[in-house]
Structure formats: structure tokens, C-alpha cells
Structure 1
């Protein structure tokens, strides 16, 4: 994996640990004897590499048992320099395994597990970053949720991805926060609706008592209507236009007579009886002369019918 890509991945991983378990700078880094010996053999600037890997300031620490392991390996080449580095730049973490009570130092796995998880709750309570080269010790610490793990391979410091136990604990915590937020927002919405209705605590109590009394007396209590959200009516542009009624069409064709019709309809609806129809005055040109009347009598009823049609 390229260096830039690996660095970006480590930064995201530490952000996840900081959000899930509250890791803060300076990061407390627990180092064992094998890790210091390997870093010294590779001629590595250990503190600087730790800061580059974790993307923040570090506080390196070493337990008393790990120091005793280093003193036990003093005869090996390069261990004296590692001892001097641990004594000068590393803070001593008191694990409680004194030489008087424990003549031989405890193994790295037992000692680090007692420091990281003292109550066996499966949680990294004090937020330690463990830098360990032993595979068995790292496998043991993977069972402790929220424990970042570092090791050295071929002069490269590598950070392990989040363990399965840690990932499950983090997802569970996120789901619980999400549910709590949903519940809180639901209560807030309910409270806002009650405030909009204008009901306080005493008024709610009175209404509840009234509803109980109404139920006992047999009266029907009106329930509060639920607010509906969303579209209530169809889009007017997508609805087919209604056809006009025949009376409305006639009024549109004869606009002069339409007000009269409306007045007649309104009077009929209000009074209950239709008003008398107004007589129209006949014009002089429409009068029938005496000669025409004689002709109409001679020709018969057909002529009069035709003449009447022509007059109309």
C-alpha cells in the first residue's frame, strides 16, 4: 500500500476511535520490550514515527514488567540502547506487579491486559494505544473494544484495522444514539403541537377530566383531528376542465339577457314563486292590416301560419 494512502487510512481510523471512545491528544501509547528492541534494531526515531502514524502528539509509556524484560535481555546486542531510550523518553506505567510480590516478571500478555482492561469488562477504559510486536498478545487485546494496535514489520510501522469486537461495539453505540435522537425529536414535535393548540398542563388536565366525564355520561367526545401533510388537492393544470351547463352556455351567448335571467332565478329561489312574465310592447310594423285579415280568412289556416312565421 502506498505511503500516502496508508497515512490517510490511519487518520480516518484514529478519527473513528476518537468519536467512538473519546481518544484525545496526546495519545497514551503502551510499548512492550520487543517493540522497543525492534525499533532500535531498525534505527527508527520511535516517537516521531508514532506521531506520524497516529497523526497527533503521543505520550509513550512502558510498564514495569516490560522494563524488567529489557533488563533480562541486557546481554543481547543493542538492548542497552533500548534500555536507555526507555529510561529517558518513556514514562513508567505502574502496573502493580512489584518484584517483592512477583520475583519473575509477568508475561507481556498478562501485564498489558491487566493495565488496559483492569476489571475484565472488555473495554479500554483509559484509552491506551498498544504498540506490540507479539502476534499472540495482539490477538488477546483484540477482544478489548476500542484498542488501537501497532506493530513493526520490515522497518515499517503498521496500524491494524479496527477489530471485529470494536466495530460491533461502535455500530451498536451509533444505533442507540440514532434511536435516542428519533425519540427526542418525536417528543419535541408532540410538545410543539400541544403548544400550537394553546393547551398547558392544567388545561390538558381539565380537558382529560371533561373527556372522562363525557364518556361516563354517554356524551360523545370529539377527538383531536390528526394533521395531514402532503398534497391535499390535485394540480389544477393536470385536471380536465368541467363542461358548462346549458343555462350558463345560453347566458354566454346572450350577454344582454343574462342579468335578467339571474335576477329571475334569484327571486324564484328567495320567494318560492316565479314572478309574472313582463309583457313586451308590440311595434306598429307588426300590426296586421284589414286586407291581410281578409286574405287570411280566404286562404285558410295555412296562410295565417305562414304569415305568422314570416312576421316572426
Structure 2
């Protein structure tokens, strides 16, 4: 049972758009992505990877092979993109503008700045070897630290 009330479009299970850097920093911090998300939100979480983010990870080659293996985890939901050759950050921003039912997981400063301009979109980030959430509306009941 979830401790968070379901009162918003981004209710439990939470769909969390993950970017390339978030996966990479999670690996460096030795965090299991799905479990750490659930520990942060006290609810079921579904990490989502867009085709653009997957293509970006694939382009980065051998250095990101662990990130690629994690991104292909069956617990991650693959989201098809209708556009071609879009920069992954642009893809994520477009998706949250169209569908405000996502939380965006990123450690990228520029992407966080762009997401903050979109009202009602929470941001998950890594701090002190754990996931934290920013801009979660009070009606979600998310823990405050």
C-alpha cells in the first residue's frame, strides 16, 4: 500500500522520466534506480526511458555499457518518440510539456533549469548518495527533509 495519496495526474505508480546523466550518476553512487526511487517516494515507481535517451546512451559507446544494460532493464518502460534526431533533453522537455504526468529524474543543471520553468513538474535528483525530490506538490504527501 502506498503512503502517498493519489490526487494528481502524477499519482502512484509514479512514472519517472530518466535522463542519461541520472543513470550514470546512480551507477557511480552505487544506487539501484528502481529501489532508490521507491525509497524516495514511498510508492511504486516506473522509470521511463524515451527513444532519444536510449539513442544517446547507445551513442556514448563502451564507457556507458553499464548504463545501457540498466536502461534495457524490463522494469523500465520504453517510451517511443514520434520525432527524429531530437536532442534527449529537448525530448524530455517536450514530453513533460505535453503530458504533465511525469516526474523528471536528472542531475543536469541546464535540464533542471528548463524543467523548473514548467509549472507542476517535480524533479528527482541525487544528493548525498540518495534520491531527493524537488517541487512535489503538498497534496502528494511526499516527505520533507
Range into which the TM-score falls when normalised by the shorter chain: 0.7 to 0.9
Aligned residue number for residue 97 of structure 1: 83
Aligned partners of 1:30 and 1:131 also within 8 Å = yes
Does the alignment pair 1:130 with 2:104? yes
Aligned partners of 1:127 and 1:146 also within 8 Å = no
Deviation at 1:154, TM superposition (A): 3.8
Does the alignment pair 1:33 with 2:20? yes
Aligned residue number for residue 75 of structure 1: 62
Deviation at 1:126, TM superposition (A): 4.2
Work out which of the residue numbers 42, 48, 53 in structure 1 matches 2:35.
48
Cα distance between partner residues in 2 of 1:32 and 1:23 = 18
Does the alignment pair 1:148 with 2:134? no
Which portions of structure 1, spanning 4 or more consecutive aligned residues, are displaced by more than 3 angstroms?
Answer: none
Cα distance between partner residues in 1 of 2:77 and 2:49 = 6
Aligned residue number for residue 113 of structure 1: 93
SS class of match (2:67): helix
Alpha-carbon deviations, 1:165-190, whole Å to 9, x = none? Answer: x79xx9xxxxxxxxxxxxxxxxxxxx
Deviation at 1:70, TM superposition (A): 0.6
Aligned partners of 2:124 and 2:132 also within 8 Å = yes
Where in structure 1 are there 5+ consecutive unaligned residues? 1-10, 119-124, 171-312
Aligned partners of 2:100 and 2:120 also within 8 Å = no
| Equivalent pairs, count | 136
Alpha-carbon deviations, 1:188-227, whole Å to 9, x = none? Answer: xxxxxxxxxxxxxxxxxxxxxxxxxxxxxxxxxxxxxxxx
Work out which of the residue numbers 74, 87, 95 in structure 1 matches 2:72.
87
TM-score by length of 2: 0.82
Alpha-carbon deviations, 1:278-297, whole Å to 9, x = none? Answer: xxxxxxxxxxxxxxxxxxxx
Higher relative CO (Cα under 8 Å, sequence separation at least 6) belongs to 2
Where in structure 2 are there 5+ consecutive unaligned residues? 140-145
Task: Give 1 or 2: higher strand fraction.
Answer: 2
Alignment RMSD = 2.2
* Structure whose CA Rg is larger: 1
Aligned partners of 2:10 and 2:103 also within 8 Å = no
Cα distance between partner residues in 2 of 1:94 and 1:160 = 26
Aligned residue number for residue 203 of structure 1: none
